[in-house]
A and B are shown apart, each in its own frame.
Chain A
Amino acid sequence: MLWAALLMAVRAIRRNLLRSMLTTLGIVIGVGAVIAMVTLGQGATARVTGEIASLGDNLLVIVPGNAGNKHSGVAGAATPFSLRDADAVAELSEIAAVAPLSGRGVRVVYGAENTATTLQGTTSDFVRVRGWAVPEGRMFHAAEERAGAPLCVLGATVREHLFGTQNPLGASIRISNVSCEVIGVLEEKGQGTFGNDQDDLVLMPLTAYQRRVANSDDVAMMFVSATSSSATPRVQTRITDLLRQRRGIRQGDEDDFVVRDMKEVTSIVESATGVLTALLGAIAAISLLVGGIGIMNIMLVSVTERTREIGIRLAVGARGREVLLQFLVEAVVLSLLGGVLGVGLGLGASWVAARALDVPFVWVPELVALAFAFSAAVGVTFGFFPARKAARMNPIDALRHE
């Protein structure tokens, strides 16, 4: 009987194909949008968390400013660090490396070529904490750092702009009227999380940067690598205590700096994705509701149109429940059809978008299963009322219906 009802449903839908398609559109769009957004969202999260994980899961970032303050993030508002702060942090236990960092936008010139980029003054620990390789040439030594030697290591983009395919090692380039020697080229990292070009930078020993370019001893931020992932919470506390003391913050006052565990960033991204997912869930619920009402509407029309058919079926011996099943199955087939088309549309669109946005295409089978389950549930819920109306018809009146 179920099989027969299925065949009847497919036939009834094919008979009014255009109308059926338009009816399912609500569900198609709803399911499609949610599948596409969630799939893309998962891809973006996977990419961000992947990048953060590639920074190392024991990385801490220290920046001046107050996390709880409205004015936080306004660089320069808070007192910057100094190289001595970095040295003091390096003395703490369970710390593998500390890379102080200070930078600004500059124009670099080599012969007739020039390009705008970011100059970062730092120490050789920078490539260690960031896990950044130097395939050509080398990073500067500790001695060169102390001496403030005018040396530089180029990001792949800067090297490309200034030297093309030429060998840059040993060449002398000019950065803000300081001439310095190229001793290495960083490995290419490509696009960052926010679409920024990570390779568009030049590294210089921090002391050289401070004396020759910035004319100040400020250190804008520090990258700290703990000896292990499990040590990061302890290291975080030690750094906080140390810096509070060094910066003379009284008990009870708030920190004027932030020690951020990159793992936290991962969880922030993940919780942001969670909020997004909940939002999408709400959109899905609304669109399924709208789609369901569309199906109920068309099923009511269909039941009225087919009153005589129902009368004939009742006359030849169909029971109410068999008529109910027929129309219920038809509604479910209709909504599942919408679900299938929606899933196809959503996956197709997100696949295309994932390629265009260069995020991984994350296929979530549970989501697809959920979409089908919900579509079927919508069919049953919104198909029930029209089907019951059909099942309760009086055979005589139904047969007389014009």
Chain B
Amino acid sequence: MTAPLVELDGVSRVYGRGDAEVRALEDVDLVIDSGDFVAIMGSSGSGKSTCMNILGCLDVPSSGTYRFRGADVGALSRDQRALLRRHYLGFVFQGFNLLARTSALENVELPLLYRGMPGGERRRRALAALDAVGLADRAKHAPNELSGGQQQRVAIARALVTDPSVILADEPTGNLDSKTSREILEMLRELNTERGITIAMVTHELEMAAFAHRVVRFHDGRVVEDREAA
């Protein structure tokens, strides 16, 4: 049996020390197989973002192990984790996090730049990714010339341009109206079904969680529910 794509095993994350200690994650076990689409829910402060940061190799557990494709991420160096992100992970954030005063095309090219891809191919693939999110005609626009929905689509293009194994989306629709949110979710679902990209997404809305195959609910840093989506 091959190792699952993502495997959290008794993971805890503690911020601060002594009186100021916050146990953001407490003994979390979570397995996500390749091709899954998981919605992570839970009240504010329940540890969803903390969990996403660990899944995204941006942070490491205080205790417990996180295995990504069978490799123990906790044992990797900072640079090795950067390489994991570079080659296997894509991020979509609530606040879009695009480079300001930089065209949509160049924003999408950014992850390819760090892969050392030559300019011509980089451009071609970035344009293809923008086309996939329906923004080919906005390639030259800077983020401040785009609507929120369009900015989030650029961010999705940036996440998918490297053909990642997993896209991690922390409240990707948190800043968007419900119609635009549905469009973004359609897009994520399409990436999941057509390209087989595994998706983990934090959301507060049941309507958005309904796009996923599976819903994981957090409460006070623990997984309290893990079920098939309706």
Contact = CB atoms under 8 A, between A and B. Distances in A.
A312 B97 contact: yes
Contacts of B113: 4
Interface stretch (B33-41, B78-86, B183-191): B78-86
B79 A319 contact: yes
Contacts of A250: none
B58 A396 contact: yes
B218 interface: no
Interface in A310-345: 311-322
B68 interface: no
Contacts of B101: 15
A319 B82 contact: yes
Contact of A316 (B78, B100, B110): B110
Given A322-B114, A396-B53, A396-B59, A314 B99 contact: no
A6 interface: no
Given A319-B83, A320-B79, A313 B93 contact: no
A152 B113 CA distance: 86
A317 B116 contact: no
B158 interface: yes
A395 B84 CA distance: 14
Interface in B86-110: 86-87, 89, 91, 93, 97-101, 110
Nearest to B101: A15
A321 B85 contact: no
**Secondary structure class of chain A's binding surface, majority of residues:** helix
Contacts of A320: 78-79, 82
B114 A318 contact: yes
B97 A317 contact: no
Interface residues of A, number: 20
Most buried by A among B78, B100, B115: B78
Contacts, number: 56
Interface in B144-183: 158
B83 A315 contact: no
Contact of B93 (A309, A314, A317, A399): A399
A308 interface: yes
Contacts of B114: 313, 316-319, 322
A316 B158 CA distance: 9
A74 interface: no
Given A395-B58, A399-B93, A317 B99 contact: no
Most buried by A among B59, B87, B89, B114: B114
A18 interface: no
Contact of A321 (B56, B79, B98, B115): B79
A194 to B, nearest CB: 59
A15 B102 CA distance: 11
A15 B158 CA distance: 23
Most buried by B among A316, A321, A322, A395: A316
A1 interface: yes
A213 to B, nearest CB: 84
Contacts of A321: 79
B85 A317 contact: yes
Contacts of B56: 315
Q: Which 4 A-B pairs have the closest CB atoms?
A: A317-B86, A316-B111, A319-B82, A317-B85
7 contacts: A1-B116, A312-B97, A314-B58, A316-B110, A319-B82, A320-B78, A396-B58
Given A317-B85, A318-B82, 8 more contacts: A312-B97, A312-B110, A313-B114, A314-B82, A315-B56, A316-B110, A316-B114, A319-B82
